[in-house]
């Protein structure tokens, strides 16, 4: 398998895992965002550890931010992508963590 095939496979697997995690969270909501988002962060970190390049890792993060945005908009249709991305980043524990600004809203 060539390097591009491996990259494409990792991206497809990562996006599939993100979709499955968010679907499960929406369907069952077994944990709140303060526990769920760090789990997503851990899963995404494994792709970096597996050798996915920085651009690929960013694609997976963008996919996760989009999935979180969709979930947030179900709860609050007036929220923006940037607000929801910042909210998600506020739950992270690693270097991507950001302190949420504005209203502290939960899905």
pTM to 2 decimals?
0.86
What's the pLDDT band for 3 if we cut at 50, 70, 90?
low
pLDDT, residue 99, reads 67
Q: What is the mean pLDDT of residues 35-46?
A: 96
pLDDT at 8 over 90: yes
Q: What is the mean pLDDT of residues 42-60?
A: 94
103, part of any domain: no
What is the band of 103 on the pLDDT scale with cuts at 50, 70, 90?
very low
Of residues 75 and 103, the one with the higher pLDDT is: 75
Give Cα separations from 69 to 26, 47, 59, 63, 83 (angstroms).
Answer: 12, 22, 15, 10, 9
In a domain, 106, yes or no: no
Question: Quick one: tokens of 39?
Answer: 């789990």
**Residue 68 covered by a domain:** yes
Residue 78 lies in a domain: yes
Residue 84 lies in a domain: yes
Q: Residue 44 belongs to what domain range?
A: 3-91
Q: Is residue 60 part of a domain?
A: yes
What is residue 31's DSSP assignment?
S
User: How many distinct structural domains can be found in the chain?
Assistant: 1
């Amino acid at each position: 398998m060539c390097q591009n095939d491996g990259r494409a496979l990792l991206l497809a697997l990562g996006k599939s895992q993100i979709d499955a995690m968010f679907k499960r969270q929406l369907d069952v909501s077994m944990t709140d965002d303060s526990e769920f988002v760090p789990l997503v962060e851990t899963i995404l970190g494994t792709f970096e550890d597996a050798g996915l390049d920085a651009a690929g890792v960013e694609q997976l993060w963008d996919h996760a931010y989009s999935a979180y945005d969709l979930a947030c908009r179900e709860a609050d249709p007036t929220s923006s992508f940037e607000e929801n991305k910042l909210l998600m980043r506020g739950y992270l524990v690693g270097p991507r963590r950001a302190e949420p600004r504005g209203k502290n809203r939960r899905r």
